[in-house]
Structure 1
Amino acid sequence: MSPTRPRRPAPRRALSTALATAAALATLGALTAAAPAQAARPGSQPGHPSHPSHRTTDLQLLALNDFHGNLEPPAGSSGRVTELQPDGTTKNVDAGGAAYLANSLRTAREGHARSLTVAAGDIVGASPLLSGLFHDEPTVEAMNKLGLDVTSVGNHEFDEGKKELLRLQNGGCHPVDGCYEPGRTFKGARYPILSANVVDEATGRPLLKPYVVKNVKGARVGFIGVTLKGTPDIVSADGVKGLKFLDEADTINSYTKVLQRQGVHAIVALIHEGGYPASAAYNYDCDAGGSGSGLSGPIVDIAKKVSPEVDTLVTAHTHNAYVCTVPDPAGRPRLVTSAASYGRLFTELDMKYDWRTHDIVRASVKGSNHVVDRTQPQAPDLTRLIDHWKALAAPVADKPIGYIARDITRGTGDTPESPLGDLVADAQLAYGRTLDSGTDLALMNPGGIRADLVHAASGSEGDGVVTYGEGFAVQPFSNTVNLKTLTGAQLIAVLKQQVSGANAAVPKILQISSGVTYTLDLTKTGADRVVADSIRIDGKPVDPAATYRVAMNSFLAGGGDGFTELAGGTDQLVGGDDLAALVAYLTAHSSASAPYAPTAADRITVVK
């Protein structure tokens, strides 16, 4: 499920905890010129209400997050949301798809004279082939069409490095792949991508605009955008080279003062960090047991530190759905929202803007998540855009690469091992042995597996046929499969890092290749949850003094996702593309008459 999965800069396939220094803080007030207030929309009078006899006016915000380039309706569990029914039961609802999302947003805006559409990052990155093949230009164009007004940056916006992020904002053809059609130059995002807490190490200045002020028919609303300060820990080092990530709350609070000096008091924070709701249902009552009781995780601590002058927090990153109240530092309830991921939901926030105070009436802020259901019409302009890019991608996307007997899934947080995780790990082990026949095992981080393999046909290929596009959706990062030598003691330490250190609160259980077994005892705490003397390779206990050749992707090889012990491996051999390894494995181990069947996912014995 993890949304914390980076990719390295690569050619297209086949076609810290606080503000760094007092100097950095000192630059904040000087940056107001970097984000001038937007001009009033046609027909408005800047600084004056359209209805001066009314003290307040209605303001609507529509919010999304973690879209990850899902232009087409996501397949399998990625394309469903859980809905709580009146009788207390739940049901799954098919959701998502950019053409449906555009129609949903346009319908929601009807009757609202003052409406803005905002996002909290990861709009691009870890994208299916239709967008990822073209370095996410199709998604930026889709966001332009559906009316996105502003977004914060997320960790995945750094998947291909800061220069590529700047290109997505400003436009221009890709430096390696060029323009995808003769005479057609990518124009970039018409919406600002905010990065208040992402600063140049040398200058202390934000990489992109830190904030923007939107003038909505006289109502001036300021937006501050930040990503999680831990971004460098979950993306490749090349992607964030030369950048520093500052504390989220401290940065928001600093720019809140900047906005207030400009007379802007209606302030919204767009934060690419999130929480974990008490229920998986998008429409559950988060506050049924008291303010904030239905939400946990990093965003709760951040929300409690963000200035009371900030009126609401639109959040992201964990791919969960929630509309919860968390008390601000003054003890007043404040809405914190997230709309799951992949365009399956959007959040509607309705509030009153006070013309006298130029602020949002906090008590008026109401929010709810809405399903982007697939029974509604699709927006014709988005459909045309998607069809256009599909035609360009078809020669690559539609190529069959294998056959499966039934769905092969990533599992859930309750299932540490998954059939798809086993498949990817086995594919990397097989590839590793083509580089070094002595390769003993493979390890795969679960966050690097982005979609299920679904048996039902998504196009004309037929049931059970896996296309290159579907494989790309599983592994879209352009990582390499690398080999490293680890001692048995290091290997034991790696497995213990799954449930300790950076992963203590939210374990990241590595997917393991065939022949590796061990026990995960959830009745214990910390690193002891991995039972060291249960670890076996081909039936033999791991010898702490022996050495083992381990296949892993380049992200893990660099110590990503908190697996610092892997960075200490020796004799690294850099191999080829990880998706190519999956393609080769599926091609070799499946056919129309003998499709690949998912594993039992029983390599890890879980004790509860």
Structure 2
Amino acid sequence: MPHRTRRLTGVLAAGALALSTLATLSTLGATTADAASQATAKPAKPKPGKPKPGKPKPGPGWPGQPGRYEKVQLLSFNDFHGNLEPPAGSSGRNTTGYTVADGKPPVATTTDAGGAEYLATTLEQARQGHPNSLTVAAGDLIGASPLLSAAFHDEPAVESLNQLGLDVSAVGNHEFDEGYQELQRMAAGGCLDDGDGANNQDSCPDGTFAGADFDWLAANVTYAGTGQTILPPYAIEQVGKAKIGFIGMTLEETPDIVTASGVAGLEFHDEVQTANALVPVLRRKGVNAIVVLVHQGGTPKNVQLGTDPATGKPYTVAPAYDYTCGKGGSLDPISPILPIAEGLDPAIDMVVSGHTHQPYVCDVADPAGNPRLVTSASSFGRLVTETNLTYDKATRDIVRASVEGSNLQVTRTVPKDPAQTALIARYKELVRPIASKVLGTIGADVTTTPSATGESALGDLIADAQLADDSVVTGGEEPVIAFMNPGGIRTNLVRANQAYDEQVGEVTYSEAFAVQPFNNFLVSMSLTGQQVYDLLAQQVTGANAASRKVLQVSEGFSYRLTPTGAAEGSVTLDGTPIDKAATYRIVTNNFLSDGGDGFPAFKDGTGKYYGGLDIDAFADHLQSVSPYTPGPLDRITQ
């Protein structure tokens, strides 16, 4: 059964935003050639599961005013990250509650969830009985993806999203992982000349890539100095008689959390000012119903469940998927989404958010003091937010009091969607030669489980791999220290993982890629001893004061960590204290090199030299040290 009538308005070309006066902006000018071409290059074609353009179906109306009101359903999700297959481990489960016994820590009850086959079915089932339905997303649909999608530059993820009937999405920070031009290709289609699988990536293995059928929006991302958006800033969708405008944005801090080269030449603007400036633009087009899709989010406050009898400290746990805010939970007051939601123009009716991978459906007061729904559907396709609302055809606006939302689980008990199953099977066969290559063996699981100081076995292995990589040697100077950010290590190496029928303990390229999925380049540079001390202090101060980020370090380098950084005189290299006046050659990834994760000391490095990909260094090192067994976690002490 078709889930909605075809949109009548379609995507609007990217506008030139007069950002020098953004706070008072209310006009939208000429389009950029790049963004406009992406908005118009592909002829409109019916989306899978949707009828061709035809006569809109009116809603039933409300008693006493027949025909005035239209019922509309919004289905939303976020942070899909190319997870075509069901995600593994905790990334593939929803917490549904806790079992509490006196004197014992709470035990979570969970449901396996996620996977494109089940997401597509859940969406289609939710659309039943809702002729006027739209499906939208809040960014990070691609990037940091499993190898099944990443090996093909995330073209499979876009094809999957087309099939499940996505209408509109904001861009997120990970959409910029391979640069904004690559994001534009994802939207418009076309193939890369990448050497047919060279460097373990292969664009268009079947010869073509059509791009996104949905509207990808980037209202607050412009070419530097022009005010012109790189993709359309908004889209207008029509279902039945309801006409709804969607403004799509990523978080303003995107340049701080992605590789600098991916956003070079771009400017990222304040979310509130950008969205508010577009309200009068949409109104002039007859659109009063407005929804913001923004890739920024909140964090639910932990819940206290009992007390540890030994220490008297409370047991605090992350809330269940449906607890915040419908069952008594609330967002942490420092959540970044709150000042955005509180500052958006009251004319904006709803906010769909993402980025933090958290589940919540909350009312947040707008500047006029009226409650406005703010939602997030966790990540990896584990949840879908269903929002039902009423559209007033007389005022051409959403009846704010009618807006009700809830998060639905994407369980794996529903039937698999056959189109998604076929897509996954096709790419699994195409990726097999890359994925199944055995790199070496491990004698025990190599995990990200941190010591008391934040050091992990997998962090040690990756740092050692970076130090051993000869692609970063320049002028005969070899790095002597390697630094790795813990957030860039995405999963564990597990002996029992045998996806390609390899032997227990064998590590395939697929497993290695899952650990480091970002395709970062390694960068060597020179730092003084003082800059090394500064770097170690930045782990626990400045941007990382509230939540420390302990860098993983290579063998031979050690220090004692204190609440303010490395203890004076404790930083040693091969047992010798480093000299603050001396210069040391170090290696890291390009994300850290650009100052990412709150480490500006890397930006001051000199003699920077770009080497190969981090995943290649990791794969090579695994082969050279096989069979590998983790050693003691004694590089960082306290």
TM-score bracket relative to the smaller structure: 0.7 to 0.9
1:495 counterpart = 2:536: yes
Amino acid at match of 1:366: E
Rounded to whole Å, the distance in 1 between the matches of 2:472 and 2:171 is 39
Of residues 218, 226, 232 in structure 2, which corresponds to 1:209? 232
Contact 2:120 2:164 in 1 (8 A): yes
Aligned residue number for residue 397 of structure 1: 435
Instruction: Trace 1:465-544 onto structure 2 (pairs within 5 A).
Output: 465-521=506-562, 524=563, 528=564, 531-544=567-580
Higher RCO, Cα 8 Å, sep 6+: 1
Q: 1:434 to 1:229 in 2, by over 3 A?
A: closer
Alpha-carbon deviation of 1:83? 2.7
Of residues 485, 488, 497 in structure 2, which corresponds to 1:445? 485
Instruction: Trace 1:374-385 onto structure 2 (pairs within 5 A).
Output: 374-385=412-423
CA offsets 1:385-443 (integer angstroms, 9 cap, x no match): 01111111111111111223444333489984333222211221232699468533210
Contact 1:27 1:204 in 2 (8 A): no
Amino acid at match of 1:262: K
Aligned residue number for residue 5 of structure 1: none
Q: 1:378 to 1:328 in 2, by over 3 A?
A: same
Q: 1:183 to 1:439 in 2, by over 3 A?
A: closer
Of residues 241, 259, 267 in structure 2, which corresponds to 1:218? 241
Q: 1:260 to 1:598 in 2, by over 3 A?
A: farther
Q: 1:439 to 1:185 in 2, by over 3 A?
A: closer
Q: 1:302 to 1:434 in 2, by over 3 A?
A: closer
Contact 2:300 2:330 in 1 (8 A): no
Rounded to whole Å, the distance in 1 between the matches of 2:218 and 2:23 is 14
Amino acid at match of 2:128: E
**SS of the residue aligned with 1:147?**
coil
Rounded to whole Å, the distance in 2 between the matches of 1:289 and 1:530 is 44
Aligned residue number for residue 365 of structure 1: 403
1:122 counterpart = 2:121: no
1:309 counterpart = 2:347: yes
Contact 1:337 1:347 in 2 (8 A): yes
1:105 counterpart = 2:123: yes
Of residues 380, 405, 422 in structure 1, which corresponds to 2:460? 422
Alpha-carbon deviation of 1:247? 0.6
Aligned residue number for residue 29 of structure 1: 28
CA offsets 1:143-185 (integer angstroms, 9 cap, x no match): 0001111100111111222221111111111143478568732
Contact 1:32 1:258 in 2 (8 A): no
Alpha-carbon deviation of 1:462? 4.1
Amino acid at match of 1:53: P
1:146 counterpart = 2:164: yes
- Name which of structure 1's ranges 445-454 and 205-214 shifts more when overlaid on structure 2: 445-454
Alpha-carbon deviation of 1:71? 1.2
Contact 2:523 2:593 in 1 (8 A): yes
Alpha-carbon deviation of 1:239? 1.4
1:65 counterpart = 2:78: yes
Aligned residue number for residue 571 of structure 1: 607
Q: What's the TM-score, normalizing by structure 2?
A: 0.82
Amino acid at match of 2:164: L
- Name which of structure 1's ranges 494-503 and 84-93 shifts more when overlaid on structure 2: 84-93
Contact 2:81 2:144 in 1 (8 A): yes
Q: 1:77 to 1:46 in 2, by over 3 A?
A: closer
Rounded to whole Å, the distance in 2 between the matches of 1:429 and 1:41 is 56
- Name which of structure 1's ranges 287-296 and 196-205 shifts more when overlaid on structure 2: 287-296
Amino acid at match of 1:30: G
Unaligned runs of 5+ in 2: 1-16, 101-105, 197-201, 303-317
Rounded to whole Å, the distance in 1 between the matches of 2:406 and 2:123 is 14
**SS of the residue aligned with 1:189?**
coil
The total of aligned residue pairs comes to 579
Aligned residue number for residue 96 of structure 2: 83
Rounded to whole Å, the distance in 1 between the matches of 2:365 and 2:542 is 29
Q: 1:153 to 1:438 in 2, by over 3 A?
A: closer
Contact 2:525 2:587 in 1 (8 A): yes
Q: 1:329 to 1:415 in 2, by over 3 A?
A: farther
Aligned residue number for residue 252 of structure 1: 275
Alpha-carbon deviation of 1:571? 3.1
Rounded to whole Å, the distance in 2 between the matches of 1:557 and 1:328 is 39
Contact 1:195 1:209 in 2 (8 A): yes
Alpha-carbon deviation of 1:474? 1.7
Aligned residue number for residue 8 of structure 1: none
Aligned residue number for residue 11 of structure 1: none
Larger Rg: 2
Alpha-carbon deviation of 1:26? 5.1
Q: 1:265 to 1:530 in 2, by over 3 A?
A: farther
Q: What's the TM-score, normalizing by structure 1?
A: 0.86
Aligned residue number for residue 583 of structure 2: 547
Contact 1:286 1:323 in 2 (8 A): yes
- Name which of structure 1's ranges 144-153 and 535-544 shifts more when overlaid on structure 2: 535-544
1:584 counterpart = 2:620: yes
Aligned residue number for residue 597 of structure 2: 561
**SS of the residue aligned with 1:296?**
coil
Rounded to whole Å, the distance in 2 between the matches of 1:441 and 1:499 is 20
Q: 1:23 to 1:107 in 2, by over 3 A?
A: closer
Rounded to whole Å, the distance in 1 between the matches of 2:448 and 2:435 is 21
CA offsets 1:34-65 (integer angstroms, 9 cap, x no match): 789x9997576569656571543432222111
Rounded to whole Å, the distance in 2 between the matches of 1:95 and 1:388 is 22
Alpha-carbon deviation of 1:348? 2.0
Contact 1:277 1:296 in 2 (8 A): no
